Amino acid sequence: MLGADAEPREMSGIPEFLLEVCVLVTAVVSLLTNSSVLLCFCQSSELRSHVPGIFILNLSFSNILLAAVNMPSTFLAVARNGKPFGDAFCQVASFAETFLTTNAMLSMAALSMDRWVAVVFPLSYSSRMRYRDALLIVAYSWLQSLGFALTQLLMDWGGYSHTYASCTLRLQDRSRRVAYATFTALFHSSSFLLCLLVLCFAYLKVLRVARSHCKRIDVITVQTLLLLVDIHPSVKERCLAQQKKRRRRATKKICIFIGSFILCFSPYVITRLVELAPSVHVPRYWGVATKCLTYAKTSSDAFVYCLLRQQYRKVLVSIVCRLLRKNPYPLSAYSTSSTLDTTDDSCTLRVT
């Protein structure tokens, strides 16, 4: 399985066609959405003034390059049932995949830590998370990503894998299986596992603080309503229902952040670790499917972290209106808060 450039077809017909469509659609959506994020930053000085914007830019650039370099090669590999290009390209593509995937994961971890600092330490956020600190975090992310990518390149562990229909990390010389297994385990532990632990720690802390704040505001609101003896009971019920909705909204956002990370990356990472056993053979359709899931994360990141937020939506609407020669509202007319999302509710702490 490892080291083979072409093997007999293990899938054909509808499954192969669906995988081709999945990779193609994911690449197009990822390019469009992440490019939209970059366009928003270029058009809005308010977005550029936020420290988390550095992490978002780093994440978006990684996703765009992954969609432009690795996804097309996977699409061609699935369509041709073999190596899409020559050995030199596969070396570059596998290097890029290791670097960009690690960098993207670390960017997500950095964003989660930024949210944690903003919510848990709101009064000292500006002193705890400065532009210099953000740049140092990005520099560390690049160094770690570059370290694994260069090691893979120097050890000649990058190339075309028929199992995953992509140029990726793979073993060619079976005599170095122990070293390869050690590198693979260390690579996934310091990228996927580390980032998962950081995400869980940061966002669960954010959720606990958000619920605590909402509970305190709920108590004050209920006491205020009880003083208004002439208020209609239906109004009180609506207020209490809205408070419950806000608490559910915060929980839903946290589940999306952590759940999307686990759903998209864990099948691929587990498969790569399981296949280290000599007796394990991974079916090609499963390998390509797990690779498609990791690609899907690049397109969902733009929505999860940016485009579903009001600030980015307003900038996009403004850009579209200008293209259509309409008169939108000014780009500076929206909130610049980095710790609270005050749209339509006053107690849900910003976890996006």
Query: What is the pLDDT, as a whole number, of residue 233?
Result: 60
From CA 136, how far away is CA 142, in angstroms rounded?
10
From CA 259, how far away is CA 264, in angstroms rounded?
8
Q: Which domain holds residue 285?
A: 14-323
Is residue 7 assigned to a domain?
Answer: no
- Looking at residues 252-279, what average pLDDT do you find? 93
pLDDT band at 327 (very low <50, low <70, confident <90, very high): low
Query: What is the pLDDT, as a whole number, of residue 265?
Result: 96
Is residue 1 assigned to a domain?
Answer: no
- Confirm if 32 and 322 have CB atoms less than 8 A apart: no
Is residue 102 assigned to a domain?
Answer: yes
Give the CATH number of the domain where residue 52 resides: 1.20.1070.10
Which residues, listed in sequence order, are joined to residue 349 by a DSSP beta bridge?
A: 340
- For residue range 175-185, list pLDDT tens digits in order: 788 999 999 99
- Is the pLDDT score of 340 beyond 50? no
- Is the pLDDT score of 248 beyond 70? yes
Is residue 108 assigned to a domain?
Answer: yes
Percent of the chain predicted with pLDDT > 90: 50
C-alpha count within 13 angstroms, C-beta hemisphere, residue 200:
8
Is residue 180 assigned to a domain?
Answer: yes
- Looking at residues 276-280, what average pLDDT do you find? 89
Is residue 307 assigned to a domain?
Answer: yes
Q: What is the pTM of this model?
A: 0.82
Q: Higher confidence at residue 224 or residue 140?
A: 140
Which of 218, 206, 272 shows the shortest CA–CA distance to 245? 218
Is residue 331 assigned to a domain?
Answer: no
**Count of domains in the chain?**
1
pLDDT band at 220 (very low <50, low <70, confident <90, very high): low
From CA 156, how far away is CA 172, in angstroms rounded?
8
- For residue range 66-89, list pLDDT tens digits in order: 999 999 999 999 988 888 888 889
Is residue 36 assigned to a domain?
Answer: yes
CA dihedral 160, 108, 191, 159 (to 10 degrees): 10
From CA 168, how far away is CA 180, in angstroms rounded?
13
224-233: long-range contacts, CB 8 A cutoff, minimum separation 24: none
